[in-house]
Structure 1
Amino acid sequence: MLVKDVMITKVVGVSPDNSVRRAAEIMLANHVSGVPVIDDAGRLVGIISEGDLLRRTELGREATAELGTSALTAEEKATAYVRSNAWRVADVMSCDPIVVEGDTSLARVSALMQEHHIKRLPVMRDGVLVGIVSRADLLKAIVTADQDETASGDEAIRRSIATRLSENADLLGKDTTVTVTDGVAHLWGTIDTEECKKAARVAAESVRGVRRVVEHFSEDRR
């Protein structure tokens, strides 16, 4: 699936001149954890999220305790002070957000979110913001995704399972074989660990049409 298949196109944004309080109100009202920051020319200039508001003076002294630590340089302390006290979105937002396009794969989106520890990505087309894709949208893709597009029938199911096993032969072992009877998959072979056995079972269970998986694995005694 691609970003354009799951993204939200009704985008709620804030101005860099809006107050932090206003940004928080918009997030609460729309049940989102972050919103894009869009300037008067319609350009995306940043993102403001719950994470940007965790160290605010409004939350009490403990939330801004890092300002008093010696681990920070003077410049870092100044930056932290601004982000915890400034009232304008422009001073608190995360600048230069990572963006994707509608034709970006969800696998790539997942990788970016994991790598940069972020929950949402703006979706751009020809330099214009057209949507937002979030972790919640990835969950929707998981829920709605069909497990497999194989044809029905035991032989078709067997071939599909065999393909998945062979694609992961480095993990599951090269001598793993499968038979299918009335939708029940029987797995045979020599697999060393319980986790690898579990992976083989999951590979079979994820094929459409499989009713049950029976394991006949033996351990490598060498």
Structure 2
Amino acid sequence: MLVSDVMTAFPAYVRLGATIRRAAELVSVSEVGQLMVLDHDGRFVGSLGEEELVRAMLPSFDEVTGDGGSLADAFRLFLEKGRALAERVIDPLVVRDTATVRSSDELARAAVVMIDRGIRRLPVVDDGTLVGTLSRADLCRAVIYHS
């Protein structure tokens, strides 16, 4: 079985230069934890996960303890930092050394890559073009419907 047999063909993506606010909106609306990132020519350049977005907004330990250290202080700082970063571009947050597979790869190979590296959603890229994503849920569907 090939990756193309079970991949998600229309993945959620964002382009370089988009704001952090836009990326957060896309993560929220698409309900995926990872956006694929394309350049202005539509070429795949990397990924941006909710982890990178949240990490950018999290206050440091020193910021929290400097304000008294309560959970309410930490949450207030989180919101303030998020508002301050909202209009900045996503480019510095993009993970560019993302593992990828081709649509013509064997599904078993992709599954091994995902499990070995702890990847939840793997970009499917053919000749630099994003053609889909392969998630752990896609792997589960492959087992259910193709057994």
Measured in 2, the distance between the counterparts of 1:26 and 1:131 equals 16
Q: Deviations over 1:42-85 (max 9, x none)?
A: 1111100122123233x4x3xx33999xxxxxxxxxxxxxxx98
Give 3-state SS (helix, strand or coil) of 2:45's partner.
strand
1:67-216 equivalent positions in 2, closer than 5 A: 87-146=88-147
Measured in 2, the distance between the counterparts of 1:144 and 1:4 equals 15
Asked if the contact 2:16–2:91 (Cα under 8 Å) also holds between the matched residues in 1, the reply is yes
Give 3-state SS (helix, strand or coil) of 1:99's partner.
coil
Specify every segment of 5 or more residues in structure 1 that has no aligned partner in the other structure, as ranges: 69-83, 147-222
Specify every segment of 5 or more residues in structure 2 that has no aligned partner in the other structure, as ranges: 65-81
Q: Which residue in the other structure is 1:4 paired with? A: 4
- With the length of structure 2 as denominator, give the TM-score of the two structures: 0.75
Q: Which residue in the other structure is 1:65 paired with? A: 61
4+ aligned runs moved over 4 Å, structure 1: none
Measured in 2, the distance between the counterparts of 1:92 and 1:142 equals 34
- With the length of structure 1 as denominator, give the TM-score of the two structures: 0.52
Q: Amino acid of the residue matched to residue 7 of structure 2?
A: M
Identical residues among aligned pairs (%): 35
Measured in 2, the distance between the counterparts of 1:66 and 1:44 equals 37
| Residue 44 (str. 1) matches residue 44 (str. 2) | yes
Measured in 2, the distance between the counterparts of 1:38 and 1:15 equals 5
Measured in 1, the distance between the counterparts of 2:63 and 2:102 equals 38
For residue 118 of structure 1, report the CA deviation from its aligned partner: 1.6
Measured in 1, the distance between the counterparts of 2:62 and 2:41 equals 36
